[in-house]
Each structure stands twice: as structure tokens, then as C-alpha cells.
Amino acid sequence: MVMNIFLLLLAIVSSALSLFINDKFLQALGGQFQVIATVAIGMLFYIFVIFILRKLNFIKIVELDKRT
């Protein structure tokens, strides 16, 4: 439960960060590409943080038992 709340907060922070970066650096671009860039930056940040948390063993990926 705590991890779900943490991941939700992480998603909100990554969205806010991507909007901030988009506003600062991609303002000259127009229209549809700006939306795609916002989503891409947010997803890259989210994946990067999940990767770091997995390396630090905060998130454990549960493997299925293969002996079934």
C-alpha cells in the first residue's frame, strides 16, 4: 500500500517535472510535438527513477515460481 502511494506520487512528480522542462526548453516547438515531448520526458524520468529504486532494492520484482 505504501509503495502504491509512493509510485503515485512519483508519477505526479515526473509529470510536473516534464511539464517544467517542456515549458522551459521546448516552448519554441508547436502543437502536437510538444505534447509528445511532454509525455516522453515524463515517462523517461519515471522509468529512470524506477530503475534506480530497483538497483537500491527499494522495489523488489516478484518472480513466479517455475517449478509448477
pLDDT in tens, the chain (68 residues): 666 777 777 777 777 776 776 666 666 666 666 667 777 777 787 788 777 777 777 666 666 666 65
Q: What is the pLDDT of residue 13?
A: 77
Q: Which residue from 22, 62, 51, 55 is spatially nearest to 39, judged by alpha carbons?
A: 22
> Which parts of the chain fold into alpha helices (H)?
2-25, 32-55
DSSP state of 26: S
Tell which phi-psi region holds residue 56, choosing left (phi > 0), alpha (psi between -120 and 50) or beta: alpha
Q: Residue 56 corresponds to which amino acid? A: L
Q: Which three cell numbers stand for residue 1?
A: 500500500
